[in-house]
Amino acid sequence: MEKVRFGVVGIGSMGRMHLANLQRNPRAEVVAVCARTEGKVKAAQEEFHVPYGYTSVEAMLENPEIDALVVATGADAHKEACLAACKAKKHIFCEKPLAKTIEDCEEIEKAVAGNVGKRFTVGFMRRFDPSYAEAKRKIREGAIGKPILFKGVSLDPASVLPAHLEGVKKGIYVPWFIEMGSHDTDLARWFLEGDPVDCFASGDAYVCTELADYNDYDNGFSLTRFDNNTTAYIQVGRTATCSHVESEIVGTKGTLRVNSVPRKNYLSAFTGSGYVEECQESFLARWGEAFAAEIDDFVDCVVTGRTPETTAHDGTMSLKYCLKLHQAYLDGKKK
Amino acid sequence: MEKVRFGVVGIGSMGRMHLANLQRNPRAEVVAVCARTEGKVKAAQEEFHVPYGYTSVEAMLENPEIDALVVATGADAHKEACLAACKAKKHIFCEKPLAKTIEDCEEIEKAVAGNVGKRFTVGFMRRFDPSYAEAKRKIREGAIGKPILFKGVSLDPASVLPAHLEGVKKGIYVPWFIEMGSHDTDLARWFLEGDPVDCFASGDAYVCTELADYNDYDNGFSLTRFDNNTTAYIQVGRTATCSHVESEIVGTKGTLRVNSVPRKNYLSAFTGSGYVEECQESFLARWGEAFAAEIDDFVDCVVTGRTPETTAHDGTMSLKYCLKLHQAYLDGKKK
Amino acid sequence: MEKVRFGVVGIGSMGRMHLANLQRNPRAEVVAVCARTEGKVKAAQEEFHVPYGYTSVEAMLENPEIDALVVATGADAHKEACLAACKAKKHIFCEKPLAKTIEDCEEIEKAVAGNVGKRFTVGFMRRFDPSYAEAKRKIREGAIGKPILFKGVSLDPASVLPAHLEGVKKGIYVPWFIEMGSHDTDLARWFLEGDPVDCFASGDAYVCTELADYNDYDNGFSLTRFDNNTTAYIQVGRTATCSHVESEIVGTKGTLRVNSVPRKNYLSAFTGSGYVEECQESFLARWGEAFAAEIDDFVDCVVTGRTPETTAHDGTMSLKYCLKLHQAYLDGKKK
Amino acid sequence: MEKVRFGVVGIGSMGRMHLANLQRNPRAEVVAVCARTEGKVKAAQEEFHVPYGYTSVEAMLENPEIDALVVATGADAHKEACLAACKAKKHIFCEKPLAKTIEDCEEIEKAVAGNVGKRFTVGFMRRFDPSYAEAKRKIREGAIGKPILFKGVSLDPASVLPAHLEGVKKGIYVPWFIEMGSHDTDLARWFLEGDPVDCFASGDAYVCTELADYNDYDNGFSLTRFDNNTTAYIQVGRTATCSHVESEIVGTKGTLRVNSVPRKNYLSAFTGSGYVEECQESFLARWGEAFAAEIDDFVDCVVTGRTPETTAHDGTMSLKYCLKLHQAYLDGKKK
């Protein structure tokens, strides 16, 4: 069996997770890693037994043994890596968000369009979660009639706040409607099969009040009218008691819910507090299966020539929607 | 024991329910009923063993044996009954919505203010539901920190649509953000302890498309910014698979949910479809306990002289909020 | 409307509850109460506005204004009251267990058989709980095929232990398979439509070890083979974290569960502990609706002449089964 | 990194699953497969890219490149493979049940004791399921006090019945208390930390009545008194509406449940039937994670020299308990 040979750009927590998942896929192998710091590169090579290591994408792309790239750097660096990889005629799996500006997104879209015969996708892994995938399947089969409302709630536990504030101060982190919201904006478009027209948003930096100094917030609530007469309610927050991503798709004939109670596992308890189900503590605990499925699907696309469902355009449109939500939030604050 | 002697105005389904609940309260008795049609009056007198029957509120109010009135007519007739009852110095329990226009509401408020020493309340029975009451208690005790978001979803089963359409055609029924929304607008104000500033709404007559001809809809979705920097999401619909009223109050330290799965009773089943919990079929199945508790509370207020928590002003403000939501819906449609 | 005129014998917590429920039934009135202590009788008369009071059943039965009796004394006194009431040709609602010995049960059965034209029933109120009633209805309709297994778990919170121990020391309380078990033995017979043949039981006084000195226990587990090839698992305990009565009926084509999570109300919460649903704190919180429905049904039987479904024989058979379970427990301990 | 080199004996569904899981473990590789039919061996070698193939265990064991064996044949052949592997000084992972007779189990135990320095374990994978593992951890931390009752319910969907009957007719399948029961008997011993003394069992071939001709049944219910005064209720069946393995551990201070509702994934729906959660369709859907975790743990034991928690003796004791349950069932039938 021919294996797809991957180079992984960016070896933070996301890059390492994709790397580990690729190593478990029998049709893939990771032959190279790339990061800015030489020490990190060496360490990753050793830990994961990866033959080649680089500190620049260009150098890596000169290696003819690489078929495909996983781009898992910060969003700022996505464009550079994607453009170079397109030029080098590689398959590309790019983490979300596609980029930090619409202009960058559109440049990537163009480059991807020119990279004929090669696969490209953006890492909206929720689409590969078994529950979301089944929800989509049921909707296609007509189980709930026509979808008219998508509700997406994406919450991080309050424990993440101090690190977030640090990141915001350093200019590394983008506001929450853009960072966390990117998943829900993609899901909204996926389930409603339309695009956003009007947005209205509210919220505030209720707990970590310092975020307000950076036009950021710890809770954002929004409602969006879509061009096909449907609606999306998107709520993001980072003051929750657990990691909690819950979605609902309301149709004219029924309603589907995903993860309404973010149960940690199959265990429940009767204690002095009542009936208790512990909840998901981190996004990896929730999405491990989806991350594996999405990279497996991408390997399959490369091997079989099938086109990935999620396109660069989806990446652009998700960001556009995120920016609209953020702007609506800022507009509301001015009133 | 002295019993509070009630006259019930309006003996449709709501009036009859209040009547039956009053008869089960050992500190109350129903001495009179009033409705426009003499036949209905006679029938209700016989069924419920009520000594006096009237076809006009004025006539009824001349009976000195009546201490208090339950006003359960259509919303159009609330003002007339309330003003007359205030003039006659009676205690008044008025069904929601307080009236159909802000002007009428304000007239009632004024009359109530002048009816010194007498109790007045509006029938927002959800406040008396054990679960909502406990939610409010927990919030007062600080269980979830400061409430920042109220989410209220109030859905009727699709089976109600034909009757609703008839009512709309006859001009009896008001649009759904006003009719069903009145409960959620009251809950939002009660839990968030603020008042609405900006509303945004969408939705449509998706299933019963004919409703659109009357500026009405079968699903409405809305987001509202409050004057104290909190937010309410209110969703109303009448195309659901069951009667489903669900609420969530998100605080800075925790979240409360009420009736997330509208279970019919304690029974569940494993069938070929999976794990199944049958759902509430009608609003009476859900709110029976709350209706009894609210009228019991009113009787207690009359007996003890305590002031009911829900005031005429709450009735006015709830309607104002409903009208804002409906207007926001219409404004959205124009775009 | 003619009202059924009741005398209530025994005015402890059960007697008072039946009294209050009867007062809420428009077709019933309570005209007399009876208890051993004159002070208690007077107090109850005043509190509930009951015209007649007695300290002996015989004296009460001489009052011709009494149509029916509620017997809610301790189980020891059931026989005397029932026999006297049968002799006096009264309708009788007798609390469970029917009596403390099979002999007493059989005497009651005989007396009831001779009280021709009068209604008699035993207070197995679970049969009137909406969820159990619906379970029975579904089974009759064939929803789960043929029932082959009944599982009944009846648990009291550990907070009841000290009072129980006191009662056991005074010889007032019977062991748990007899006291609490009486409900589950009745349900098992009702759902399985058979009678117990072989029992096996285990358990111990794990927490309140002193109970062992009285051949009593705080947890009992049992399995019973029925004469129609079905099986019942009955578990009783009083060391639980809440009041928790859960049942399951397994059929050849499906399974029904009642109260698998004994939710206190419709409220749930996300807290630092996870997803939490508070649980039922006492048996009254769970069974209030059933108690009201059972007495309403009995009133209806008296008014319409319909025969109550639960017979004196059911009372006898339930006790027989309880005693078998208790004996199986003792036999197991000897090994 | 040195990889543990595995030979897999038996390449039916279980063998193939272990093989695939080993291939995803970076510290393991599968170098050989073994089965009776040469065609099957060749096919598996090709599908999984395994270098060596054998039709006899002895031949395979002569290959010095093999460090460890996975024994995944039918239970009949476990002894032969285990004894030979012990003689050849290999690490052994043996599927459950350890063997079909106590004598065979004890022979294996002896051989394992002599295979000094090598790891041995039995595949009771439930212990590695995250929920069971957490339950055990919580109990060790005292979360529910002292465990006094284990309830294990293991049900297969009715759809498996025809294949089971075929297997029973051919003498391949053992009765259900032995086949399915082996997991629950192990869990009961694991959680209660004791051994069974007395068993009582009932049940029947209710749906697939032909099973009765083979002393087999489609539903078995049992209660067991343990030597440390604890109790186990074990229920097995194959007439359920889904694959449903549910456990409960009752302690003196709280209760833990695992998989009380066997939800298929995170999706739920509101449909005309009510609130619906689809259920697990097969045991692989439920236990995939546990199977992977158990083989990963075994690899870790081999690499680090740690002794696996589950011993050959656990295998023997589980079978003993299973046979007791089956015998108790047969004894009950004779009455």
pLDDT, tens digit, for every residue of C56-106?
A: 999 999 999 999 999 999 999 999 999 999 999 999 999 999 999 999 999
What value does the mean pLDDT take over residues B12-31? 94
The pLDDT of residue B171 is 87
CA-to-CA distance for D211 and D122, rounded, in angstroms? 29
Over residues D90-113, the mean pLDDT reads: 97
pLDDT of C187: 98
Please judge whether A131 and D265 are an interchain contact, meaning their C-beta atoms are less than 8 angstroms apart.
yes
Closest CB to B222: pick one of A207, A223, A335.
Answer: A223
In chain A, which residue ranges form alpha helices assigned H by DSSP?
Answer: 13-24, 38-48, 57-61, 78-87, 102-114, 130-140, 161-169, 176-179, 181-192, 283-304, 312-334
Answer whether B148 sits within 8 Å of A219, measured CB to CB. Answer: yes
d(CA B269, CA D149): 25
Interface membership of D267 toward B (CB under 8 Å): no
Question: Cα–Cα distances in Å, from D124 out to B79, C195, D11, D96, D182?
Answer: 73, 38, 19, 6, 8
| Chain D positions in Cβ-Cβ contact with residue C149 (cut-off 8 Å) | 219, 221, 235
A240 and C CB contact within 8 Å: yes
The confidence band for B279, taking pLDDT boundaries of 50, 70 and 90, is very high
Q: Where are the domains of chain C?
A: 4-118, 127-286+317-334
- Chains touching C (3+ CB pairs < 8 Å): A, B, D
Chains in touch with B (3+ beta-carbon pairs under 8 Å) read A, C, D
Asked if D233's CB is within 8 angstroms of C221's CB, the reply is yes
Q: Which fold would CATH assign to domain C127-286+317-334?
A: Dihydrodipicolinate Reductase; domain 2 (3.30.360)
Residue C18 confidence (pLDDT): 97
CA dist D324 and B80 (Å) reads 80
**Contact assignment for A269 to D143 by CB distance below 8 Å:** yes
Opening angle at CA A225, ends A224 and A227, nearest 5: 130
Q: Which of B262, B264, B276 sits opposite D276 (nearest CB)?
A: B276
Residues in chain A with CB shorter than 8 Å from the CB of C159 are none
pLDDT of residue B1: 52
What is the average pLDDT across A327-335? 93
Residue A1: predicted pLDDT: 53
Cβ contact C251:C144 at 8 Å: yes
CB within 8 Å: A265 and D135: no
Asked if the Cβ–Cβ distance from B278 to D279 is below 8 Å, we say no
pLDDT bracket for residue D44 (50, 70, 90): very high
Which DSSP category does A263 fall into?
B
D211 or C335: whose pLDDT is higher? Answer: D211
The answer, yes or no, to whether residue A217 has pLDDT greater than 90, is: yes
D260 CB near a chain C CB, below 8 Å? yes
Record: contact A268-D254, CB cut-off 8 A? no
Q: In whole angstroms, give the CA distance from residue B133 to residue B130.
A: 5
H-helix or E-strand containing C260? none
How high does pLDDT run on average in chain A? 96
Task: State CA A290 to chain mean position distance.
Answer: 11
Choose the closest CB to D258 out of A135, A267, A271: A267
Residue B47 CA neighbour count, 13 Å, CB half = 12
Q: Give how far C279 is from chain D: nearest CA, Å.
A: 13
If you average pLDDT over residues B269-282, what whole number do you get? 94
| Interval B215-249: pLDDT, tens | 999 999 999 999 999 999 999 999 999 999 999 99
- For CA atoms C263, C264, C270, C276, the dihedral sign is negative
The whole-angstrom distance between C329's CA and the closest CA on chain D is 11
Give me chain C's average pLDDT, please. Answer: 96
User: Any idea which fold A4-118 has?
Assistant: Rossmann fold (3.40.50)
Q: Is C335 exposed, middle or buried (0-12, 13-18, 19+ CB in 10 A)?
A: exposed
Determine the 3-state secondary structure of D206 from DSSP. Answer: coil
Nearest residue to B7 (alpha-carbon basis) of B49, B63, B46, B47: B63
How far does B90 lie from chain C, in Å, by closest CA? Answer: 26
Interchain pair B231, A203: CB under 8 A: yes
CA dihedral C106, C109, C114, C118 (to 10 degrees): 160
In chain B, what percentage of residues exceed pLDDT 70?
100
Are B254 and A241 inside 8 Å of each other by CB? yes
Please compute Rg for chain B using Cα positions.
20
Q: D239 in contact with C at a CB cutoff of 8 Å?
A: yes
What ipTM describes this predicted complex?
Answer: 0.94
For residues D168 and D316, is the Cβ–Cβ distance under 8 A? no
Return the pLDDT at B26: 84
pLDDT band at C1 (very low <50, low <70, confident <90, very high): low
Cβ of B307: how many Cβ atoms within 10 Å?
A: 11
Q: Spell out the long-range contacts of B297-301 with Cβ–Cβ below 8 A and sequence spacing 24 or more.
A: B297/B128, B298/B68, B298/B91, B298/B93, B298/B119, B298/B121, B299/B4, B299/B22, B299/B25, B299/B27, B299/B28, B300/B27, B301/B91, B301/B119, B301/B121
Query: D246 at the C interface (CB within 8 A)?
Result: no
| Section D261-273 average pLDDT | 95
Q: Which CATH class is domain A127-290+317-334?
A: alpha beta
Contact C269 B260 (CB under 8 A): no
What phi and psi, each to the nearest 5 degrees, are found at residue D27?
-100, 10
Contacts of A266 in chain D (CB under 8 A): 129-131, 258-259
- In B, minimum Cα distance to D265 occurs at B274
pTM of the model: 0.95
Beta strands in A158-266, from DSSP E residues, in sequence order: 196-204, 219-226, 231-240, 244-251, 255-258
Report whether pLDDT(D1) > 70: no
**Partners of residue C276 in chain A, C-beta under 8 Å:** 273-276
* Amino acid (one-letter) located at D318: S
Q: How far apart are CA A326 and CA A314, in angstroms?
A: 18
Query: What gap in Å lies between CA C47 and CA C42, rounded to an integer?
Result: 9
Does D110 score more than 80 pLDDT? yes
Q: How do residues D221-266 score in pLDDT, each as one tens digit? A: 999 999 999 999 999 999 999 999 999 999 999 999 999 999 999 9
Q: What is the mean pLDDT of residues A102-131?
A: 97
* Residue A254 to residue D266, Cβ atoms within 8 A: no
Sign of CA dihedral C285, C290, C291, C293: positive
From chain B, pick out residues whose CB is under 8 angstroms from the CB of A233. 221, 223, 233, 235
Residues 6+ apart with CB under 8 A from B127: B133, B136, B186, B187, B190, B294, B309, B310
pLDDT in tens, A43-85: 999 999 999 999 999 999 999 999 999 999 999 999 999 999 9
> How would residue D5 be classed by pLDDT, with cut points 50, 70 and 90?
very high
For a pLDDT cut of 70, what percent of chain A falls above it?
A: 100
| Cα–Cα distance list, B59 to A173, A325, B5, B120 (Å) | 71, 59, 16, 21
Q: Judge whether D4-118 and D127-287+317-334 match in fold.
A: no
A271: chain D residues, CB-CB within 8 Å: 143, 254
Q: Looking at the predicted structure, is the pLDDT value of residue B57 above 80?
A: yes
At C127-167, the pLDDT tens digits run 999 999 999 999 999 999 999 999 999 999 999 999 999 99
pLDDT of D113 higher than 80: yes
| Residue from A148, A209, A259 to probe the interface with B (highest B Cβ count within 10 Å) | A148
* Residue B175: cis peptide before it, omega within 30 degrees of 0: no
| Secondary structure of residue C58 in the 3-state scheme | helix
Question: From B335, which residue of chain A is nearest by alpha-carbon distance?
Answer: A198
The pLDDT value recorded for residue A284 is 82
Instruction: Give C270's strand partners.
Output: B255, C275
pLDDT tens track for A7-19 = 999 999 999 999 9
By CA distance, what is D279's nearest residue in B? B274
CB-CB under 8 Å, D272 with B273: no
Tracing tokens 């926001």 back to the chain, one arrives at B328
* Residue of C204, C235, C335 with shortest CB distance to D198: C335
With CA atoms as reference, the chain B residue closest to C259 would be B266
- Taking contacts as CB-CB distances below 8 angstroms, the residues of chain A near C237 are none
Question: Tell me: domain D127-287+317-334, CATH 3.30.360.10, correct?
Answer: yes
